[in-house]
Amino acid sequence: MNEHLLKGRPAALTILDFGLFRVHSTGRIIGICGYLIRTDADEYVLIDGGFPEKYTVDFSAASQEDRLYEFGEVLVCGPENTATAQLARCGITPEQISLLILTHTHIDHIGAIADFLHAPMVVAAAERALPKPLYWGGVQPIDWPDRTYHLVDADMTLGPDFDLMLVPGHAPGQLAMLLRLPQTGPVILTSDAISRPAELDEVFAGSWDEPAAVASGDRLMRCSAEKGAFVIYGHCPRQWPDLRKAPFFYA
C-alpha cells in the first residue's frame, strides 16, 4: 500500500454508540463503540461496527446462540445501535462510506464486516490470515466476506494527519489510530489495545499475548505523551459517558 487511501485530512470525529455490555467477572459496564471520521475532502471512514446484526434484533437469543452469556450480559443493543442507524444520526448514508477499518475481529467490533461492500476494508494481515474472524471464545460462525481488503502488516499512513498503528496483544492484528483534528489536535484511538487505563497496571492479564499487549500499551502511552494527544480508550467506563456521541463530534 504505497499510495494513501485517503486524500483529505481528518476534519471531524464522531463516537458511534453500539450498546452497553456488563462483564460478569468484574461487574464493569462498558460502552461498545465505533468511530466515524470525516475528512476535509468529504471522505467518510467507518471504524468498527459493534455487535453482529442479530444482536440488535434480539440480543438475549443471540447471546444464547453464541454462548456470550458465559462472559457477560448485553444490556443495550437495539436497532438504533447498528452502524447504519448510527451513521443516520450523523446524516450519513451507507453509500457515503469511503473506507471501513476493522480494528480486530472480536464479536463487539465485527458487526459491519459484510456491510458497505463498496468500500475497501482495512484490516491487519494477521487477522485476515485467520481461517475465520476471531468472534468470541471457540465460537466462530462468521466467514470472511468477498470484498476488497487492504492488509496491514506494519504502521502505515492512510492519508494526511491520519496514521494506523499495528499494536498486537489484545488480538493478533490489533490496530489503533493516530490522527490530528483542526481544533482538538492529536487524537489516539486505542481501540482494545488499551480498553481502559487500569489495564496498564494490570499488565493486560488475559490478553491473547500479554507481553505484546504490554509493549503495545506502553508504546501508545509514549506516543500520547510525545504528541500531547487526547486518548480515547476502547471500553473505559469512566470516559464513556462524557464522549461526544452521534450526532455530536470533535473537530
Residue 208 belongs to domain with CATH number: 3.60.15.10
Sheet (strand 10-23) strand order: 72-76, 10-23, 29-39, 44-47, 97-101, 121-124, 149-152
pLDDT for position 233: 98
CB 149 within 8 A of CB 127: no
Q: Is residue 238 part of a domain?
A: yes
82, three cell numbers:
447498528
Q: Is residue 115 part of a domain?
A: yes
In a domain, 251, yes or no: no
Residue 1 in this model has a pLDDT that exceeds 70: no
- Provide the pLDDT confidence category of residue 3 given band limits of 50, 70 and 90: confident
* 187-245 tens-digit pLDDT: 999 999 999 999 999 999 999 999 999 999 999 999 999 999 999 999 999 999 999 99
Could you read off the pLDDT of 115-163 as tens digits, one per residue?
A: 999 999 999 999 999 999 999 999 999 999 999 999 999 999 999 999 9
Q: Does residue 3 lie within any of the structural domains?
A: no
> Is residue 215 a contact partner of residue 204, using CB atoms and an 8 Å limit?
no
- Classify residue 174: in a domain, yes or no: yes
The owner of cell 481502559 is: 196
Q: How many Å apart are CA 202 and CA 114, to the nearest integer?
A: 35
Residue-wise burial string across 44-75, b where 16 or more C-beta atoms lie within 10 A, e elsewhere: bbbbbbbbbbbbbeebeebbeebebeebbebe
Distance CA(134)–CA(132), nearest Å, equals: 6
List the domain range (segments joined by +) for residue 129.
10-242
Length of the chain: 251
Do residues 65 and 116 make contact, with C-beta atoms less than 8 angstroms apart? no
| Confidence (pLDDT) at 237 | 97
Query: Both ends of the chain: CA-CA distance in Å?
Result: 28
Residue at 250 is within a domain: no
Q: What is the pTM of this model?
A: 0.97
| Count of structural domains, the chain | 1
Residue 172 placed within a domain: yes
Tens digit of pLDDT for each residue in 56-79? 999 999 999 999 999 999 999 999
Q: Which three cell numbers stand for residue 46?
A: 467507518
Strands 230-233 and 185-191: parallel
Asked, for residue 248, whether it belongs to a domain, the answer is no
Rounded CA gap, 35 and 48, in Å? 7
